[in-house]
Amino acid sequence: MAHEHRICSVQQGSIAWEMGIEPGDKLLAVDGQEIEDVFDYRYYIEEEELVLLIEKPDGEQWELEIEKESYEDLGMEFEQGLMDEYEKEVIAQALDYCGYNISRTAQTLGILRQSLQYRIRKYGLIF
């Protein structure tokens, strides 16, 4: 697989945390689809049932079947790179579109309010 996205943090209590995903693991695919950027990632994780292909640091691959609410975030953050740049831009645009209302922006993006607040701090999108 050409695209691998290394996970740098997992939110405690999140779906990813409950599934045993850890920092240092790599996301290889969602539902058999390679993930090129945050748009792909957000699109594919909207499903209520999905399969993640995760590669552990020792090279072992885990196929994880997940059932969740369609709006529920998995709770994974990725290392700096392609996904962060796209995510930062998407969040900035969503904040602007929603009049900088945090709750409305989180709902529009389909993520938890706490996850949005974390990302606002992470990307320096303080307003």
pLDDT, tens only, 27-70: 999 999 988 777 788 888 889 999 999 999 999 999 999 999 88
90 exposure class (CB count in 10 Å sphere: 0-12, 13-18, 19+): middle
Q: Does domain 5-122 have CATH number 3.40.50.150?
A: no
Q: What is the pLDDT of residues 62-99, one digit of tens each?
A: 999 999 988 788 999 887 655 677 788 899 999 999 99
- Specify the pairing of strand 76-78 against strand 5-10: antiparallel
| Domain ranges within the chain, ordered by starting residue | 5-122
**Are 29 and 35 contacting, i.e. CB atoms less than 8 angstroms apart?**
yes
Burial environment of residue 111 by CB neighbours within 10 A (0 to 12, 13 to 18, 19 or more): buried
Write down the pTM of the prediction. 0.64
